[in-house]
Amino acid sequence: MTRLLLIGPPGSGKGTQAVRLSQACAVPAISTGDIFRSNVEKGTELGVKAAEFMNAGKYVPDSLTNDLVRSRLNDADVEGGFLLDGYPRTEAQVDELDDILAATGHPLDVVVLLTADTDEIVTRLLKRAGEQGRADDTEDVIRHRLEVYAEQTAPLIDIYSKRGLVVEVDGLGSVDDVTERITSALDARGITLLAS
Ligand code: AMP
């Protein structure tokens, strides 16, 4: 069973591809962004705290995010594998995930890096803002989210590259094309996929 991460800038299509990929790999997709949004909608204590950061395009503090992921990765359905979408995003989160996985004895198999250029991303996110009305999809907040990604998350690519885990995939093009690129790259690495 597969343990994989999906990393990419906001608007690279991570969420869409995560759902498809989790089906192809037959593992649950865990999106920290989705978990935070659902907490915001329900008005939980975590949601109230997270909303403040999310609406400003900032990362939710590591302490809150790490606790959430640690608890989710202890659920029975992830024993056979998982796909993490949007986590880790900081070096402290990488350390936390290493620690969680060391305790289970199951290392990561692969890190999929989805790339997309900035102009394309801003266009996509502004379109999504019109369609979904997300509070963090205004142009100012989008630009800030891209800066935060460049500062805090892009350095993780180097960390995972040194471990030989990164598969880089061009996120530009149709959703089907991108899925096909990712699944071919995973197949080439010997990751087990369900026939589509
Ligand atoms: P996403 O749906 O992955 O774009 O996440 C939406 C927002 O949720 C981000 O802009 C952050 O405010 C917050 N968030 C999601 N995942 C994380 C994470 N791993 N660390 C910190 N904040 C996160």
The finding on whether 8 has its CB within 6 A of some atom of ligand 1 is no
Nearest CA to ligand 1 atom 5: 33
| End-to-end CA gap in the chain | 17
37, 124, 145, 181: which one is catalytic?
145
Supply the pLDDT for residue 8: 95
Q: In the chain, what are the domain boundaries?
A: 2-188
Higher pLDDT, 145 or 192: 145
Supply the pLDDT for residue 113: 96
Is it true that domain 2-188 has CATH number 3.40.50.300?
yes
Query: Is the pLDDT reported for residue 196 higher than 60?
Result: no
pLDDT band at 195 (very low <50, low <70, confident <90, very high): low
20, 37, 72, 89: which one is catalytic?
89
The finding on whether 32 has its CB within 6 A of some atom of ligand 1 is yes
49, 70, 134, 143: which one is catalytic?
134
Q: Which atom from ligand 1 is nearest to the alpha carbon of 69? A: 19
